[in-house]
Structure 1
Amino acid sequence: MLIGPFWDNKTEQALFRGRDSREERLYLVKLSKENPELLDAGITGYFFFREKEKELGKVPLMGFFDFFKYKYQVNVDGTVAAYRFPYLLLGDSLVLKQDSQYYEHFYTVLKPWKHYVPVKRSLEDLLEKIKWAKENDEEAQKIAKEGQSVARELLQPHRLYCYYYRVLQKYAERQASKPEIRDGMEPVPQPDDRDSVCSCHRKKPLREDL
């Protein structure tokens, strides 16, 4: 699936846009100012480091689809794992992902150098990785396509529903007390089993699942 221009028509720079929710994001802007031919990074809003706005500047918000006019996308943590990561993978640009202590449930399936290019937590090797991508264009495009393909498979609605179903199951198993229906509570109508997009709870598959 193509999002944005064809690969050969994309801008050969790495892109980052986001809030100031982690110090490494500020470092990205400094790198960008020093290496504009490799990196276009900007902070769109200040909250945590307001004293840095005058020094680093502020850039306008950018439409998400416009991100993919650039060949390379930099994924850096915010206050937790960057929510944008799966959506960057779904695009058709190469994702350069910061090493992180945070993770989402689908990360275990992803492999560095197959689905994305890993970058050290400190970002000290980011410019080196961007240069590698520019010098190895075919391999960079291949990784971008692999990342998009696995994300499209992992992030299908039925996959997400099944994950949430299993999480709630495990949570229920650990409850120490029985849930109590209190005054003022209203039942939430549940879909018929045949209408559910999640099939992992069924003991027998429906006929159309066979």
Structure 2
Amino acid sequence: MFSTQANTGPSWENKTSRAFWRGRDSRRERLDLVVMSRRQPELVDAQLTNMFFFPKDEKKYGELARHVSFFEFFKYKYQLNIDGTVAAYRFPYLLSGDAVVFKQESDYYEHFYGDLEPYVHYWPIKHDLSDLLKTLRWAKQNDATMQEVARNGQRYARENLDPASILCYHVRLLQEYSSRLRSKPKFTKDFEKVEQPSEGNCKCQKYKKQVHEEL
């Protein structure tokens, strides 16, 4: 996270006004995105870096691209967050950079999603990506709006998704999980007790709220 924050690419006005994506073939929509990119390269730069799930077809999807760092991503104004086998893990890092994240509608989520507002912190796109090209054309004509969304997403990530905040969330999650166990763990004589800090050392009170009901 800190590395991404420190490497956000060129200034906004010097970034390329195209959507950028690299990744493996872990979902059909990712393949559709690559096909879309090959047809509309002036709007989308999307390539596969690995293929494990679907048959290789260079004629349809092109050759596999080399891996690039997140620092390369931020040469572009528009970032694409597309599900893989689960929620795409790169979302927090994309938010922390100086770019707008176009997030695919999804049933997957991470703990912080409930804090985010569409069109404020990120720009939503349909699950099947059917509105992506139209949205990108609109974005190019509304640059000031896109820059404001990029700034909002970046501000949220930097204030709430740093390592200390993520650790604090997991502390609260495990505390809540522990409190709901029907039977307590049984200790044996070879266990060694590790003293834990008091709850008062964790300052992120906002994670007390419940957004989902897994527990």
Aligned to 2:172: 166
**1:108 pairs with 2:114:** yes
Aligned to 1:13: 18
Say whether the 8 Å CA contact 2:165–2:204 is kept in structure 1: no
Q: CA deviation at 1:174?
A: 2.0
Q: CA deviation at 1:53?
A: 4.9
Say whether the 8 Å CA contact 2:105–2:127 is kept in structure 1: yes
Q: 1:128-207 maps to which residues of 2 (within 5 A)? A: 128-182=134-188, 184-188=190-194, 190=196, 198-199=202-203
3-state SS of paired residue (2:152): helix
Equivalenced residue count is 199
Aligned to 1:96: 102
3-state SS of paired residue (1:40): strand
With 173-182 and 11-20 compared, the bigger mean Cα shift is at: 173-182
Q: Distance in 1 between matches of 2:204 and 2:66?
A: 44
Q: Distance in 2 between matches of 1:194 and 1:167?
A: 12
Q: Which structure has more RCO (C-alpha within 8 Å, separation ≥ 6)?
A: 2
Q: Deviations over 1:61-81 (max 9, x none)?
A: 011111000110011001111
Q: 1:72-87 maps to which residues of 2 (within 5 A)? A: 72-87=78-93
Q: CA deviation at 1:50?
A: 3.1
3-state SS of paired residue (2:185): coil
Match of 1:71 among 61, 69, 77: 77
Say whether the 8 Å CA contact 1:7–1:71 is kept in structure 2: yes
Q: Moved runs in structure 1, 4+ residues, more than 6 A? A: none
Aligned to 2:50: 45
Say whether the 8 Å CA contact 1:31–1:39 is kept in structure 2: yes
* Structure 1: gaps of 5 or more residues: 202-210
Aligned to 1:4: 9
Q: CA deviation at 1:99?
A: 0.3
Q: CA deviation at 1:164?
A: 1.1
Q: Distance in 1 between matches of 2:22 and 2:188?
A: 46
State the identity as a percent: 52
* Structure 2: gaps of 5 or more residues: 206-215
Q: Distance in 1 between matches of 2:155 and 2:204?
A: 23
Q: Distance in 2 between matches of 1:129 and 1:185?
A: 57
Q: CA deviation at 1:178?
A: 1.5
TM-score scaled by length of structure 1:
0.87
Q: Deviations over 1:136-180 (max 9, x none)?
A: 011111110011001111213332233212211221122122212
TM-score scaled by length of structure 2:
0.85
Write the letter of the residue equivalent to 2:23.
Answer: G
Q: Distance in 1 between matches of 2:138 and 2:90?
A: 23
With 160-169 and 123-132 compared, the bigger mean Cα shift is at: 160-169
**1:117 pairs with 2:132:** no
Say whether the 8 Å CA contact 2:122–2:150 is kept in structure 1: yes
Write the letter of the residue equivalent to 1:19.
Answer: R
Q: CA deviation at 1:185?
A: 4.1
